[in-house]
Amino acid sequence: MPIDRARVVHGVVASVAAFSLVWQLVLVVQGSAVLDETLIPPLGARVVNYFSFFTIESNLLVLGTSCALAVNPAREGMTWRVLRMNAIVGITVTGVVHWFLLRPTLHLSGASFVVDKLLHVVIPLLTVLAWVAAGPREKLDGMVVVGNLVWPAVWAAYTLVRGAITAWYPYPFIDAGTLGYPRTLVNIAGIAVLLTVVALLVVGAERMLARRPVESHRGQSVN
Would 218 be classed as within a structural domain?
no
Domain hosting 145: range is 3-210
Would 119 be classed as within a structural domain?
yes
What's the pLDDT band for 222 if we cut at 50, 70, 90?
Answer: very low
The pLDDT value given to residue 107: 81
Distance, in Å, from the CA atom of 126 to the CA atom of 107, rounded to the nearest integer, reads: 24
Whether 85 contacts 144, CB under 8 Å: yes
Whether omega before 182 lies within 30 degrees of 0, making that bond cis, reads: no
13-32 pLDDT, tens digit per residue, is 999 999 999 999 999 999 87
Please report, for residues 13, 67, 102, 186, 206, the alpha-carbon distance to residue 19 in angstroms, rounded to integers and kept in the order given.
10, 13, 22, 35, 28
Would 90 be classed as within a structural domain?
yes
Would 10 be classed as within a structural domain?
yes
pTM of the model: 0.91
Would 72 be classed as within a structural domain?
yes
64-103 pLDDT, tens digit per residue, is 999 999 999 988 899 999 999 999 999 999 999 999 988 8
**C-alpha triplet 10, 85, 144: angle, nearest 5°:** 145
Would 222 be classed as within a structural domain?
no
Q: How many domains does the chain have?
A: 1
Looking at residues 144-172, what average pLDDT do you find?
96
Would 27 be classed as within a structural domain?
yes
